[in-house]
Amino acid sequence: MLDKIALILVIIGALCWGSVGIFQFDFVAWLFGGQGAVISRIVYTLVALAGIWAISLLFKESTRTD
């Protein structure tokens, strides 16, 4: 479950950075009142922690049997 939550947050972060790179528009800052707003900083921190967690997925053995 934690892996899926981390993956969702990493995808949100990737889409946010994509919008910054392509359109120069920070969706999180716009949605929550600027980059310095507490809720924006919480979202940025959660996305960063999810990215760090996702590093562990690179080294995780697959338990799926196809």
* Each residue's pLDDT tens digit, 31-49: 999 989 999 999 999 999 9
Distance between CA atoms of residues 2 and 37, nearest Å: 26
DSSP string, 1-63: -HHHHHHHHHHHHHHHHHHHHHHS--HHHHHHTSTTSHHHHHHHHHHHHHHHHHHHHHTPPP-
Domain span at residue 51 reads 2-58
Using 50 as the pLDDT threshold, list the residues of the chain that sit under it.
Answer: none
In a domain, 31, yes or no: yes
In a domain, 66, yes or no: no
In a domain, 63, yes or no: no
Domain count along the chain = 1
Model pLDDT, residue 65: 60
In a domain, 33, yes or no: yes
Tallying the residues shown for the chain, one arrives at 66
In a domain, 26, yes or no: yes
